[in-house]
Amino acid sequence: MTPAILIHGPTASGKTALAIDVARRLGGEVVNADSMQVYRDLQVISARPTEEEMDGVPHHLFGHVDAAHRYSTGDWLEEVRATIRNLELRGKRAILVGGTGLYLLAMTQGLSNIPPVPEDVRADVRAIADAEGAEGLRDRLTPVDPETAARLGTGDRQRLARAYEVYLATGKPITDFQKNRQPPVLKDGEWIGFALTPPRAKLYQKIDRRFEGMLMQGAMEEARQLIKRDLDPELPAMKAHGMPWLAAFARGEITAE
């Protein structure tokens, strides 16, 4: 197969424009690898490319999921596998682009077979995280999964919570599942990766300008529409970058300053 091209980079790094340009030059098609750009309701907030920006280049897995759905890495892997297979059959190269490292890592190294965690367990762990913070989660995780607790420290509350909820639900440390992965979608030699790493100061300037532009393009209205639906604040779409701030502003809980 013709190797797929993977373009990864932070917000405002120019990865979307690069992917579209590469796809046009190589006769490829762009495939989304960003966990927020899958959501139909987050056109502006997720900086999903517009029809004008797509410039006639076919795009896949963008804006096809409702915000009420808890779309997972496993869901994406299933869809991206079928998408890449379809492109191969049509003789088209896949140009994958996104900022979600977990998606690209799972696609090239395989995904751990972790059983679903019951919602009541997830809710209990969220309550613990809110009450005790990352340090409390680490202290609880250390006796049952010392390897993960030591690796994460207190710098990643979300992953600490994930590791602890997996233990509570299964009685096993998450590392047991991580050692047994599904086969990758793309094996070594079937992909070429590019990571965009613009200077930090320049990147921050672009992010500030982008956020101002998002407000002008309707980000606040998107947030208001989602709030009206009274969705679970723990849904991925409700935790999109900028969404909690926009939601708090829309409710009058904070000011623009």
Radius of gyration of the chain from Cα atoms? 19
Q: What band does 256 get if pLDDT is binned at 50, 70 and 90?
A: low
- Residue-level pLDDT at 23: 97
Question: Alpha-carbon distance 3 to 244, whole Å?
Answer: 38
Work out the number of other CB atoms within 10 angstroms of the CB of residue 234: 12
What average pLDDT does this structure show over 37-43? 97
- Residue-level pLDDT at 257: 60
Locate 212 and state its tokens: 């101002």
Residue ranges of the chain that CATH labels 1.10.20.140: 119-178
pLDDT digits (tens, 9 = 90+) for 217-226: 999 999 999 9
Residue ranges of the chain that CATH labels 3.40.50.300: 4-111+182-195
Looking at domain 4-111+182-195, its CATH architecture is 3-Layer(aba) Sandwich (3.40)
pLDDT digits (tens, 9 = 90+) for 44-68: 999 999 999 999 999 999 999 999 9
What are the distances in angstroms from CA 207 to CA 3, 13, 91, 200, 213?
A: 31, 9, 36, 10, 10
Q: Is the pLDDT of residue 177 over 70?
A: yes
Domain 119-178 class?
A: mainly alpha
For tokens 């690898």, what's the residue? 33
Q: What band does 89 get if pLDDT is binned at 50, 70 and 90?
A: very high
Question: Alpha-carbon distance 254 to 78, whole Å?
Answer: 40
58-62 contacts, C-beta under 8 A, 24 or more apart: 58/29, 58/30, 59/29, 59/30, 59/31, 59/32, 60/29, 60/30, 60/31, 60/32, 61/31, 61/32, 62/32, 62/37, 62/38
- Residue-level pLDDT at 160: 95
Task: Using a pLDDT cut of 90, give the percent of the chain over it.
Answer: 74
- Residue-level pLDDT at 1: 75
Locate 138 and state its tokens: 């680490």
Question: Alpha-carbon distance 53 to 141, whole Å?
Answer: 45
Task: Using a pLDDT cut of 70, give the percent of the chain over it.
Answer: 99
- Top-confidence residue, 250 or 32: 32
Residues paired with 147 in a beta bridge: none
Is-contact 140 152, C-beta < 8 A?
no
Coil vs helix vs strand at 97? strand
Lowest pLDDT segment from 75-89, 137-151, 198-212: 198-212
For tokens 């980079």, what's the residue? 9
Is-contact 11 241, C-beta < 8 A?
yes
Complete edge-to-edge strand list for the sheet that includes strand 59-60: 59-60, 29-32, 94-98, 4-8, 191-195
Q: What band does 206 get if pLDDT is binned at 50, 70 and 90?
A: confident
pLDDT digits (tens, 9 = 90+) for 62-81: 999 999 999 999 999 999 99
